[in-house]
Amino acid sequence: MPSRPDIVLPKYRAVVLVHGCYWHRHPGCRLTYTPKSNREFWEAKFNENVSRDARQHNQLNNLGWQVITVWECETKELAVLSERLSKELRF
């Protein structure tokens, strides 16, 4: 497997990636901010994280895996998250 998914569901040929909003740059999330000091370093680091995530997502898709990304901020409302995962995995 080209990455190390947090959850692998072979029965559904699906993987779940749980991403921290800060490190993986969740678009529009309040947890996604850039430190003011050493800004160039952080922007390069975050850009590489996002690029790596996209590469891994594509590689998994190309291998026939369904990829579901769960963002850190989505874990606060478990009922909503559970419903979303059920729909995406077609339980």
Give the residue extent of every domain in the chain: 7-72
pLDDT score recorded for residue 3: 85
67 vs 91, residue with greater confidence: 67
Report the alpha-carbon distance of residue 34 to residue 13 in Å, rounded: 35
Please tell me the pTM assigned to this model: 0.87
Q: What is the pLDDT of residue 27?
A: 96
Per-residue DSSP letter, 30: T
Say if residue 84's pLDDT is above 70: yes
CA of 2: how far to CAs of 30, 59, 72, 76, in Å?
30, 7, 22, 28
Pairwise CA distance, residues 22 & 85, whole Å? 22
Q: What share of the chain is helix, strand, coil (3-state, %, to 5)?
A: 55, 15, 30
Closest CA to 25 of 34, 15, 38: 34
What pLDDT does 91 receive?
56
Q: What is the pLDDT of residue 90?
A: 77
- The mean pLDDT of 21-35, rounded to a whole number, is 96
Q: What average pLDDT does range 71-91 have in this prediction?
A: 91
Domain range 7-72, CATH architecture: 3-Layer(aba) Sandwich (3.40)
